[in-house]
């Protein structure tokens, strides 16, 4: 039955005309568009094939394409037989051969697809049968295991029932023996609780005291009492009551638990004591370390971990600069090249402070404005713009006769004003410096930085471009932009990010780096 249905479907698929079949029917399959869905020619061919009248536009199209025989057929001037007879016999033969070949390939393809489908159905049925067999086997195994478990449970319960009777008989015998003692005194509920090693407030009140009393005298327990022990969590007593354990094993298990608990507590106390001793030793070591003058000095300058081979020279440098002295040139080069990780922020600030003090003293000794300008630069780098401003203000204006000095003084004061947040004054000084020395890049970088900080990004780019034209390096400008970006608040930073990416997404792609995204 299945094979017959497949044959019927195959016959229907083979005899349902496709666009290619229709094109072959009219011997035009060789024409581009005849076998492509929704083209004008394929739509016209399908209408003729179905006997539907063509519009005037479609008829005109046939004439324009020189398909005169099709035009005559569509307008009823000739029959289909006449249409075929009017065509080139060689063309008709090629079309019929192509159609036959196409149908053969189509039949092969459909047959293969049907075979695959039948094979797939067979596999599905086989897998279904295998699943049914596995489920049956699993059920049989489960039934067998359940039956074995039930049989084992019944056997255990029979053993427990026997032991339960033995437990009651032993308890009853011991109770009667105690009662026959001339000095016998009836035990209190607390005495009975101690007999079973139960330390619980409810052990001396009903119903728990009634349960313990029945176990003590060897009387059987009602199902409700057994359930009470189970539900309330007195599982060892429940095992004793139903015969899973004897009184002796019940007591020995409790003793074992107590021994384990005592051992665990002793181990805990030992560990706590060892931890206390370690902490005390660490505290003693910390106090000794932090009392060491060398450690105090290293901590002051942010140097905590350092290779022992570098320590002697580093300590000489720290002691020298902490005494108020300047760094030697070779020490400065060493710090700035070989041990850059140890040239900390604190140490750099101390270095710049010593240089600022030296240059300031030089100015007061020589009255040379360049010394004041140099001192100002160092004061700015150690976060003391107020000291820089005070020193610059002490330089008389008659020292600014040369445009180069005057421009440098204006640019330096503008930088100080920028540090102090007085950006309007910074702009004024920067523009004055640029006017005095139009070819110097330093006023331009100052003006670019202040404009960026004010959010005037377009003007800032212009000033930075002028700075590059006048000799400022791209690297130094980008480093300054990174600093401005990191110091900006969240809203200004987002605006600056968008502006930088719009200006040059490749050069300023660093604004999307994680370390910059995570700020603020």
The domain ranges of the chain are 2-134, 189-245, 292-399, 402-520
Query: Burial, 256: exposed, middle or buried (Cβ in 10 Å; 0-12, 13-18, 19+)?
Result: exposed
- With respect to CATH, is domain 402-520 assigned 3.10.20.600? no
Lowest average pLDDT, out of 214-218, 270-274, 474-478, goes to 214-218
Peptide bond into 85 cis (omega under 30): no
Report in angstroms the alpha-carbon separations of 193 from 176, 178, 181, 243, 390: 18, 17, 21, 19, 89
Distance, in Å, from the CA atom of 222 to the CA atom of 210, rounded to the nearest integer, reads 11
Helices (H), 26-88: 40-49, 56-64, 68-74, 80-86
The pLDDT, as a whole number, for residue 382 is: 93
Helices (H), 306-399: 311-322, 329-337, 345-366, 369-381, 385-393
Distance, in Å, from the CA atom of 11 to the CA atom of 107, rounded to the nearest integer, reads 9
Instruction: Assess contact for 399 and 372: CB atoms under 8 A.
Output: no
Query: pLDDT tens across 111-156, in order?
Result: 888 889 888 888 998 899 899 999 989 988 988 889 888 888 888 8
Instruction: Assess contact for 19 and 46: CB atoms under 8 A.
Output: yes
Distance, in Å, from the CA atom of 303 to the CA atom of 353, rounded to the nearest integer, reads 18
**339: DSSP letter:** T
Query: pLDDT tens across 398-419, in order?
Result: 877 889 999 999 999 999 999 9
Distance, in Å, from the CA atom of 84 to the CA atom of 196, rounded to the nearest integer, reads 113
The pLDDT, as a whole number, for residue 519 is: 53
Distance, in Å, from the CA atom of 356 to the CA atom of 478, rounded to the nearest integer, reads 26
Average pLDDT for the chain: 88
Q: 13 pLDDT exceeds 50?
A: no
Helices (H), 367-473: 369-381, 385-393, 403-419, 423-436, 441-454, 457-469
Instruction: Assess contact for 449 and 417: CB atoms under 8 A.
Output: no
The pLDDT, as a whole number, for residue 514 is: 79
Distance, in Å, from the CA atom of 439 to the CA atom of 309, rounded to the nearest integer, reads 48
For residues 274-300, average pLDDT: 85
Q: 8 pLDDT exceeds 60?
A: no
The token duo for 110 is: 């459909």
Lowest average pLDDT, out of 89-98, 118-127, 255-264, 503-512, goes to 89-98
- SS3 per residue for 198-219: CCCHHHHCCCHHHHHHHHHHCC
**518: DSSP letter:** T
Distance, in Å, from the CA atom of 180 to the CA atom of 187, rounded to the nearest integer, reads 14
């Amino acid at each position: 039955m299945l094979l017959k249905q497949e044959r019927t479907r195959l016959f229907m698929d083979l005899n349902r005309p496709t666009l290619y079949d229709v094109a072959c029917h009219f011997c035009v399959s060789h024409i581009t568009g005849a076998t492509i869905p929704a083209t004008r020619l394929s739509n016209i061919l399908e209408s003729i094939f179905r006997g539907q009248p063509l519009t005037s536009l479609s008829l005109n199209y046939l004439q324009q394409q020189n398909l005169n025989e099709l035009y005559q057929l569509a307008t009823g001037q000739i029959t289909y037989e006449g249409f075929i007879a009017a065509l080139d016999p060689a063309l008709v033969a090629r079309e019929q051969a192509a159609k036959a070949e196409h149908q053969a390939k189509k039949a092969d393809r459909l047959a293969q697809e049907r075979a695959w489908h039948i094979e797939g159905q067979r596999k599905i049925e086989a897998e279904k049968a295998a699943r049914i067999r596995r489920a049956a086997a699993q059920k049989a195994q489960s039934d067998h295991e359940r039956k074995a478990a039930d049989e084992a449970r019944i056997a255990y319960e029979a053993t427990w029932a026997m032991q339960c009777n033995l437990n009651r008989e032993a308890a009853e015998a011991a109770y009667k023996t105690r009662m026959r003692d001339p000095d016998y005194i009836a035990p209190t509920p607390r005495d009975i609780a101690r007999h079973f090693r139960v330390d619980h407030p409810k052990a001396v009140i009903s119903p728990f005291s009634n349960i313990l009393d029945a176990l003590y005298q060897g009387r059987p327990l009602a199902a409700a009492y057994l359930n009470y022990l189970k539900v309330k969590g007195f599982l060892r007593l429940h095992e004793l009551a139903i015969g899973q354990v004897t009184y002796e094993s019940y007591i020995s298990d409790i003793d074992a638990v107590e021994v384990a608990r005592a051992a665990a507590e002793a181990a805990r106390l030992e560990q706590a004591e060892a931890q206390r001793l370690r902490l005390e030793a660490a505290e003693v070591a910390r106090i000794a370390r932090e009392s060491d003058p060398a450690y105090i000095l290293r901590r002051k300058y942010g140097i905590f971990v350092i290779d022992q081979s570098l320590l002697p020279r580093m300590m000489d440098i720290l002691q020298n600069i902490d005494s108020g002295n300047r760094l030697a040139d070779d020490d400065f080069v060493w710090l700035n090249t070989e041990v850059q990780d140890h040239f900390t922020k604190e140490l750099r600030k101390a270095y710049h402070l010593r240089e600022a003090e030296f240059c300031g003293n030089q100015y007061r000794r020589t009255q040379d404005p360049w010394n004041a300008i140099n001192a100002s630069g160092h004061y700015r780098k150690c976060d003391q713009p107020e000291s820089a401003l005070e020193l610059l203000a002490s330089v008389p204006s008659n020292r600014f006769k040369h445009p180069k000095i005057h421009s440098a003084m204006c640019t330096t004061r503008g930088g100080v004003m920028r540090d102090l947040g007085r950006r309007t004054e910074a702009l004024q000084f920067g523009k004055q410096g640029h006017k005095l020395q139009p070819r110097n890049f330093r006023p331009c970088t100052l003006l670019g930085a202040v404009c960026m900080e004010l959010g005037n990004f377009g003007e800032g780019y212009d000033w930075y471009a002028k700075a590059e034209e006048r000799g400022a390096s791209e690297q130094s400008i980008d480093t300054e932009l990174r600093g401005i970006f990191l110091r900006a608040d969240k809203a200004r930073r987002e605006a600056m990010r968008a502006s930088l990416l719009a200006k040059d997404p490749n050069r300023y792609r660093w604004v999307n780096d994680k370390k910059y995204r995570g700020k603020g």
